[in-house]
Structure 1
Amino acid sequence: MEARPRKDGLVTYRYHPVGGKPINLGTDRLKAIQRVLDILGQGDGVGTIERLWNQYQDTPDWKRLAEGTRADYKTCSKPLLATFGDVRASDIRASDIARYLRIERQAAPVRANREAALLSNLINLAIERGEAETNPCRQVRRNPEQPRTHAVAVETITTFVQWLMGQTPQRQIIALTAEYAALAGSRKAEFLDIVRPQVDRTAGVIRTKRAKQRGTKRGEVIEEVAITPRLADLLDRIDAIHARQERECLYLFPNRFGNHYTSAGFKAMWSKLMTQALEEKVIEERFTFHDLRAFYATTHKAERGTLPDLHANPAITARVYDRNKVVKRKAL
């Protein structure tokens, strides 16, 4: 390990592997030493799930994950580390994972599946580093998951949106995002950061990048949402709100600082408004923002006879988003 003094008084450290390029270790001497020991397989806690979690966040695999997936994994890491944090990957058995899924996380079976997926990635890293031989996660069946089947009534959505439209301009923006999701069927990740150049009134389309694309396809699939009369009216009302606030904003759905909402920030705001609406008896049932995407797919099929192109796999659109209770067909 090499120490390199800097002009600002700090010292940077880097490790020289035999026959390889130097690895930057930062300016913290103790952390640099610990990292070198980890590389050599001589540090305390080598092969433990907590150490693997810290190492995983420095890998190319982590950098390839979408921002939303990273945030979700960070949430999953908390209960996972509470159980397996100081356990070595090589000591984990399939029975331990099964107990975690069925007993310890019985109250949250779906979240337990996500946590098991993260654990599997960490054990794969341990295998690559020579700290484990097999991945027991592959031997355990995940908890069964059922997609939501409840279809939100149009009256419920309308009432909630109208309630928000009678409040502050910022809450009106939230109402308009709900309308957009119900009319266009887009995910939050596809339109929360939408900017005005993506709205082509001349061509009559809104262009967004399809989310959840993997590998080389990420960012390459462009969705063109046709601007219908109802969607055009929504865009006009967005412009009107921005004009009343006397500000020119690049984003269609800005937060109070003029930036786009983050996924976490929007989720917190939506939950707060939904809870308040229920307490004030504005609506009688809670619904998620993702239910609006299902509302779009269900309404699209009812009005046009076919499901929209929402997913790379049409079977997933039919299984997750189609919530029609009545199936119509013609006799011969």
Structure 2
Amino acid sequence: MKHRDGLLPRMEAIKRKKGISYRYHPVGGKPISLGMDKTVAVRKVLDMIGVSGDLGTIGKLWEQFQETSQWKRYAADTRTDYTQCSLMLLKFFKNARAADIEAPDIARYLRKARADAPVRANREVALLSNLIGLAIERGEAKHNPCREVRRNEEQPRSEAPDPKEFEAFSVWLSAKGGQKAVIGMAAEYAAVAGNRKVEFLDLAWPQIDRAEATIRIKRAKQRGKKRGEVIEQIEITPRLAELLDRLQVLRTEKDCLYVFRNRFGNAYTSSGFKASWGKLMNEALEQKVISRRFTFHDLRAYYVTQHKSERGTLPDLHANPATTARIYDRNKTVNRKGL
């Protein structure tokens, strides 16, 4: 059943001095007054025609959300992340109607139900907020309680991988050969080029110009008119050139398109790479190759920190340099001059 400006078929909105009232026109009958609360009016009609079912529930809204233009604008990684968030969220709220969820319900979910994963819970509530927002647009809820609840505190990561440990980790992976060596070289690339994983997992050889000594990659996380239009032109330094030489040796097939190919000759998927990285990190910890775990995204911070140490400036990673400094610069030493 399709909605028209948040109303069901045969519903009518009438402007009054005190606001808008609603009524329903049954077939062959007199109009039925529904009051001035649109959400209540829609429920009354659904009850009358006997098709309310799961309309307005979080489970139904999740299905509908994936059909919206907003969902289609999301990057593939964002859609994957929201899909993962939905798994736990639907365990608690699938049959709950958006209009019945209140701020204390959100607080209990954040503080108690998901106390073991507070940061992930924040992402799940962000999805819930989007779903309730959709319900408001459809006339199935009146307010969004997610906006009334403070999120769990998130502590930003403050450490970058130690250069000596990262070097040992890279050498260890290189010695293993095969796909483990490829993942190790992907880590090296992130550390010396500073790109996000989503930006270079599908890096193709035509994007690398050895004559001009540059790599051209689309910058991720751009919004509005800049989406997909900002191109990063990365200088091929001696360290990066040596890495590309090693990757070129692994290019057994001349027509192989991707630089970081999986065992089937295709680009790694984000989920496939993430799973492989996690296994290798566990193995490296067990064999005491490294003393502490670091995330793949920490390698971006490694790049920024080393760039500042070696070149004296922060690299251009964001439109706002303060963002690069706040999130990725993990240098513990601050140099300043005395009088």
**Identity fraction in percent:** 63
| Pair 1:294 & 2:301 matched | yes
2:197 is equivalent to residue 225 of structure 1: no
Q: Secondary structure at the match of 2:234?
A: strand
Structure 1 residue aligned with 2:85, among 57, 72, 76? 76
Partner of 1:14: none
Please tell me the root mean square deviation across aligned C-alpha atoms, in Å.
Answer: 1.8
Q: CA deviation at 1:314?
A: 2.0
Please give the alpha-carbon distance, in whole angstroms, between the structure 2 residues aligned to 1:41 and 1:106.
39
Q: Are 1:190 and 2:187 counterparts?
A: no
| Superposition deviation, residue 247 in structure 1 | 5.0
Aligned to 2:158: 149
Q: CA deviation at 1:280?
A: 1.8
Matched, 1:239 2:248: yes
So what's the TM-score if we normalise by structure 2? 0.83
1:305 to 282, 300, 312: 312
- For 2:102, the aligned partner's letter is R
Structure of greater Rg: 2
Task: Indicate whether 1:104 and 2:113 are aligned.
Answer: yes
**1:283 match: secondary structure:** coil
1:113 corresponds to which of 98, 119, 122: 122
Look up the match of 2:168: 159
Tell me the secondary structure at the aligned position of residue 208 of structure 1. Answer: strand
- Once the two structures are superposed, residues 161-215 of structure 1 have per-residue CA deviations (whole angstroms, 9 ceiling, x without a partner) of 1111111322111111011000001000110101011111222210000011123
1:279 aligned residue (277, 283, 286): 286
Q: CA deviation at 1:99?
A: 1.5
The 3-state SS of whatever aligns with 1:282 is coil
- The alpha carbon displacement at 1:246 in A equals 4.9
- Determine the structure 2 residue equivalent to 1:33: none
8 Å CA contact 1:147–1:319 kept in 2: the answer is no
Write the distance in 2 (CA, Å) between the matches of 1:309 and 1:249.
Answer: 31
Matched AA of 1:266: F
Q: Which residue of 2 aligns with 1:327?
A: 334
Query: Contact (CA 8 Å) 2:213, 2:236: kept in 1 or not?
Result: yes
2:5 paired residue number: none
Whole-Å Cα distance in 1 between the matches of residues 271 and 110 of structure 2?
Answer: 26
- Determine the C-alpha separation between the residues in 2 that align with 1:105 and 1:303: 42
Separation (CA, whole Å) in 2 of partners of 1:227 and 1:111? 37
Which of 54, 76, 96 is the equivalent residue of 1:45?
Answer: 54
Q: List gaps (5 residues or longer) in structure 1.
A: 2-16, 19-36
Matched, 1:314 2:328: no
Letter in 1 for 2:334: V
Q: Is residue 134 from structure 1 mapped to residue 134 from structure 2 by the alignment?
A: no
Amino acid at match of 1:302: S
- Alignment partners' CA distance in 1, 2:273 and 2:165: 20
Distance 1:217 1:42, change over 3 A: farther
- Structure 1 pair 55–135 and aligned structure 2 pair: CA distance change class (3 A): same
> Could you state the TM-score of these two structures normalised by the residue count of structure 1?
0.85
Q: Distance in 2 between matches of 1:310 and 1:210?
A: 9
Structure 2 unaligned spans of 5+: 2-8, 11-45
In 2, the alpha carbon distance for the partners of 1:141 and 1:124 equals 17
